[in-house]
Structure 1
């Protein structure tokens, strides 16, 4: 049984660490989609790893739940506790230092409270690139990115957050510190705690710092926006590009015409590259050396695709400003989605060779529910789709909200049938914990519960995230 973080506990914290904690502030109890209001008793904002360790140790000694809080941008409720007795909300926003930059070994060591954009800027100042890229990069924190194993638009070439992390420093549930900030690419010394903590969503410990991989900045970026015949044609185009362009495709985004309709309805200031809202489009980007002449090579691939009917029209960015305008379109789609208001949102992944079939079957499965609008978009290059269902134009989300659970079940049942995943890049959080229990492999779930019990026997770390109590 967990205890609330009350005034007496607040006084105890501030006696141990002056000015580390205060009453909870409302913004730490919110999540971006406004689906739930969180609970909280105390807000702690430590300034060092040792202070984090002291806070967590005291929470363990007094049976107080800890809810780690990054930038608050997560979409599965991992940052907002419900049904937990007034937990302590632990924000790492004061821990935002760059501890080390190693341009020879291509690493950067940063504290968990840095925004992703700040990490990218620090890498850029060192003449390198940190390739994790998300729409929320100006506000999400790198600790949260690692805790959720964030994805984004460049996973195709560079991988998820886990693939870009060499080591972590973390405070474990008993308040001990795991000193894992080694800048090593090979370290075969037993169980890999880094990969256990990355993606654990604050349920096994609190990541306080990390060693991240850097890459050489591309000397040239070649970007195109194309209208494609459909998802099958898009998949064929990607395969051709990878072969013809030396596997250097870093982003390959699929967008539906519904997404463009939403932009036109809610964000008319965003200029789209084509008239109207074509049924299907892709945004592709290649990073290369300055002498690779990738624009000529990409133009040849696109010309052949036009001739073969895979694409209907295409625009090749002729300047950095035009490239930025292309990406503004893609990055504005989630904001337009939010303004329309989804009845049910699904962050899923499907084996790449079955994506087109899944989209067709998904449309068919949703049709009996009525004239709903489906905005399917996402990172086709790594199999991650955002398969989101909206009310008909002119209807309010609330008019259709009673269908949410049924819609989720239909989509997730189909994802399971296609041997996909119900969570591609957003994590499980609290919102999908029941779905994980329903669709997860029993042996894996049993092992996860064993790990959770071994590391966090009191169950104080982010209760009800990933695994329900």
Structure 2
């Protein structure tokens, strides 16, 4: 179905959630129609805000009956257009913002059950109130929601120690395109009873169903926590320092972030309250995060030993250890603000890629040379989670360049960078998903059997193709 929705159909959908929860005014719809970076802007004449699983089910039953396309949306913080309606105008947006409760928390079993629309920061706070930790941490955690985190298999800054959302989820509740409700809210760490349906929905970007609830894994709050910021001469030194940290700290190494000089400069320049904690300039920087289960002293001793050995090995040029919780947060704020810091610099062509950790230096050098050959004055801001191989290889426009012309080369530069990523056995999407942005590229890089299997799964769950159509897979 495309075009505008018929008035009688809008009326039928509205009856399911009530007038105040069926949004039609253009001004109220506008924030839900555009992707955060402005790459995609769709059309829709109706946004529904169900307040219960039964209401979501009723919406999906009517959608299947009338073959109305449905676009699930939670915090609308996605970066590949997966949550954005199409330009055709016939999609109905289903927002889970009213379904935002923490349903239950069991600190003994270390599990928390949340609605799909629960805000990530609220889940973190609920866990903290029980002296527990929910470790997923994202720059958008104040607005992104659990359903979207699961639908994109979000990673964030703590994947090194805790894994991504697939590892942080034990069970799901999902409303299927037919309106059927699958209650898979199991709290078990061991359950080998048939196919793992949970894993089909995690990372599916809303193309197989709407995640309305989840059982999330919690962890004990660490008693010791230490953060340091180190300046280095090369990305090779950063890799060697990571190897040293992994050997000395083991599972206590909870974060190891890589940042370039340009990234630190623009973040200090463009983000209020951010400053470079080191006196001199360095080509590369690492943010090191250590958490221990026994005491604050143990975390401090471990960090001190790591930095001392890093200096002795000639890997570290300068370093600073956070002296307070406030300073720890300030260092993380710098890293998490690096993407936003690029906006005042003009256009930015972005990549969310991963390569084997040992290949990061080689990838960086190859990609830098290729990008600068195509755009000689481009300013490269490659940063990310060195501990899991996820690099946000972003490129800011040359100073004084035309922004539109620069952004117009997005596909060209993506093709260059992604080709190098694939040469090193990497992935073109590490944690942001496929959405609309990488849909066609996915079809070209995955084997025919993989694409065919994905299509069979999609068709089996959603034979009417109403569930977030046009995302991940091209199915007519």
Aligned partner of 1:438 in structure 2 is 444
Q: 1:341 to 1:68 in 2, by over 3 A?
A: farther
CA distance in 2 between counterparts of 1:267 and 1:217 reads 30
Question: 1:264 offset after TM fit, Å?
Answer: 3.8
Asked if structure 2 preserves the Cα contact closer than 8 Å seen for 1:57 and 1:175, the reply is: yes
1:168-179 alignment to 2 at 5 Å? 168-179=172-183
- Per-residue deviation, residues 4-61 of structure 1 (Å, max 9, x unmatched): 5332211112334433423161111011111221111211100000100000110110
Asked if structure 1 preserves the Cα contact closer than 8 Å seen for 2:16 and 2:55, the reply is: no
- Per-residue deviation, residues 257-284 of structure 1 (Å, max 9, x unmatched): 1112222442364122124652100001
Question: 1:241 offset after TM fit, Å?
Answer: 1.3
Asked if structure 2 preserves the Cα contact closer than 8 Å seen for 1:241 and 1:247, the reply is: no
TM-score, structure 1 length as denominator? 0.97
Which residue of 16, 26, 39 corresponds with 2:30? Answer: 26
Count of residue pairs the alignment pairs up:
469
Instruction: Please state if 1:413 is matched with 2:419.
Output: yes
Which residue of 377, 380, 386 corresponds with 1:380? Answer: 386
TM-score, structure 2 length as denominator? 0.95
Question: 1:359 offset after TM fit, Å?
Answer: 0.3
Aligned partner of 1:114 in structure 2 is 118
CA distance in 1 between counterparts of 2:60 and 2:467 reads 9
Which residue of 309, 326, 330 corresponds with 1:325? Answer: 330
Aligned partner of 1:154 in structure 2 is 158
Instruction: Please state if 1:95 is matched with 2:99.
Output: yes
Instruction: Please state if 1:356 is matched with 2:361.
Output: yes
Structure 1 gap segments, 5+ residues each: none
1:390-429 alignment to 2 at 5 Å? 390-429=396-435
Aligned partner of 1:212 in structure 2 is 216
Aligned partner of 2:278 in structure 1 is 274
Question: 1:398 offset after TM fit, Å?
Answer: 2.2
Which residue of 300, 309, 317 corresponds with 2:305? Answer: 300
CA distance in 2 between counterparts of 1:64 and 1:195 reads 26
CA distance in 2 between counterparts of 1:246 and 1:142 reads 29
CA distance in 2 between counterparts of 1:148 and 1:236 reads 31
CA distance in 1 between counterparts of 2:12 and 2:464 reads 20
Aligned partner of 2:58 in structure 1 is 54
- Per-residue deviation, residues 346-390 of structure 1 (Å, max 9, x unmatched): 000001111110001111111212211110000000000000111
Q: 1:298 to 1:47 in 2, by over 3 A?
A: same
Aligned partner of 2:472 in structure 1 is 466
Question: 1:222 offset after TM fit, Å?
Answer: 1.1
Asked if structure 1 preserves the Cα contact closer than 8 Å seen for 2:229 and 2:321, the reply is: yes
CA distance in 2 between counterparts of 1:127 and 1:60 reads 44
Asked if structure 1 preserves the Cα contact closer than 8 Å seen for 2:233 and 2:282, the reply is: no
Partner of 2:427, secondary structure, is: coil
Structure 2 gap segments, 5+ residues each: none
Instruction: Please state if 1:182 is matched with 2:183.
Output: no
CA distance in 2 between counterparts of 1:64 and 1:2 reads 9
CA distance in 2 between counterparts of 1:429 and 1:360 reads 29
- Per-residue deviation, residues 85-124 of structure 1 (Å, max 9, x unmatched): 4210000000011111111100000001111000000111
Question: 1:204 offset after TM fit, Å?
Answer: 0.2
Question: 1:72 offset after TM fit, Å?
Answer: 0.6
CA distance in 2 between counterparts of 1:104 and 1:386 reads 37
CA distance in 2 between counterparts of 1:5 and 1:389 reads 40
- Per-residue deviation, residues 183-223 of structure 1 (Å, max 9, x unmatched): 11111111111110010000000000000000000011011
CA distance in 1 between counterparts of 2:405 and 2:161 reads 41
Partner of 1:247, secondary structure, is: helix
Asked if structure 2 preserves the Cα contact closer than 8 Å seen for 1:3 and 1:63, the reply is: no
Instruction: Please state if 1:192 is matched with 2:192.
Output: no
295-304 or 67-76, larger mean C-alpha shift: 295-304
CA distance in 1 between counterparts of 2:360 and 2:101 reads 41
Asked if structure 1 preserves the Cα contact closer than 8 Å seen for 2:72 and 2:210, the reply is: yes
Aligned partner of 1:10 in structure 2 is 10
Aligned partner of 1:223 in structure 2 is 227
